[in-house]
Amino acid sequence: MADIVSKRAHYSPPWADVCIIGIAGSSGSGKSTLSHAIVSKLNLPWVVILSMDSFYKSLDAEGSRKAFLNEYDFDSPDAVDFDVLVDRLRDLKAGKRAEIPIYSFAKHAREKETTSIYSPHVLILEGIFALYDERVLELLDMKIFCEADADTCLSRRILRDVSERGRDIEGCIKQWFSFVKPNFEQFVEPQRKVADIIVPRGVENRVAITMVIQYIERKLIEKSKAHRAELRKLGQSSEDD
């Protein structure tokens, strides 16, 4: 009897086994477009995109003053609250609900409200530092690095930051050359080394997207088989008792 109890204690239900895909790459390289393309091609009900934008740290008054002058370094890993990110990812991996902060790029601050994520089948974590923290890497089932030319990244970023993030062109260019570009070389690009796949040309790269989809589908089938085998084993040990 004690044996069954200990086996049950180790039993993990299928919803506690989220498949987590990390997508890193330069700002403007197409990470979030690639994530949406993967979601729309995956024929599954519970696929969620978690953007690392949600985990920028709150700023003090001096930090905020600098941010509005485009003089704050948001491209250093120090700007990201990895502890909270790891905590939330572990909750989701354990099948629990996670409260996710909402970030405003126009205000350079977290909103008061949060949003809830209920443990999905597949979680796509996208952000410039998605493959940076060892604790996050341990939780990932697949690591993707999204690549694009620097001029493509810069032009995409300017268009987006002006239309969606309340910025002006001069500020975008200043921030790019002060922080985004040098920190890409120092911190973002080295993540290529830990990636399982490097995707050049983002969403245009249909072959890479098909490979990613097939990998996820295979992974889910394996997990479902392992789950059924675990259930059968448990059933047998109850009958033997």
User: 93 or 157, CB closer to ligand C5P?
Assistant: 157
State the nearest-atom distance from the C-beta of 203 to Mg ion, in Å.
13
- Give the number of other Cβ atoms within 10 Å of residue 124's Cβ: 28
**Total residues at interface with ligand C5P (CB under 6 A):** 13
- Give the number of other Cβ atoms within 10 Å of residue 10's Cβ: 8
Q: Which does 82 bind (CB under 5 to 8 A by kind): Mg ion, ligand C5P, none?
A: none
Select from 26-34, 41-49, 81-89, 134-142 the region that touches ligand C5P (CB under 6 A). 26-34
Return the bridge partners of 122, or none: 19, 47
Ramachandran angles phi, psi of 111, nearest 5°: -75, 165
Closest listed residue to residue 52, CA positions, set 18, 29, 86, 19? 86
Q: Is 32 in the site for Mg ion (CB under 5 A)?
A: yes
| Ramachandran class of 59: left when φ > 0, alpha when ψ lies in -120 to 50, beta otherwise | beta
Question: Cα separation of 143 and 130, whole Å?
Answer: 9
User: Which residue is nearest to Mg ion, using beta carbons?
Assistant: 32
Q: Binders of ligand C5P among 114-173, rule CB under 6 A? A: 128, 157
| 110 Cβ contact partners less than 8 Å away, ≥ 6 residues apart | 56, 58, 101, 102, 103, 104
Select from 30-38, 75-83, 151-159, 194-202 the region that touches Mg ion (CB under 5 A). 30-38
Check if the beta carbon of residue 108 is closer than 8 Å to that of residue 65: no
Select from 3-11, 24-32, 192-200, 214-222 the region that touches ligand C5P (CB under 6 A). 24-32
User: 203 or 234, CB closer to ligand C5P?
Assistant: 203
Check if the beta carbon of residue 128 is closer than 8 Å to that of residue 52: yes
* Amino acid letter, residue 196: D
| 64 Cβ contact partners less than 8 Å away, ≥ 6 residues apart | 108, 109
With CB under 6 A as the contact rule, the residue among 108, 110, 143, 181 that binds ligand C5P is 108
User: 32 or 183, CB closer to Mg ion?
Assistant: 32
Select from 23-31, 38-46, 91-99, 132-140 the region that touches ligand C5P (CB under 6 A). 23-31
Binding site for Mg ion (CB under 5 A): 32
Binding site for ligand C5P (CB under 6 A): 27-28, 31, 53, 56, 67, 74-75, 105, 108, 128, 157, 180
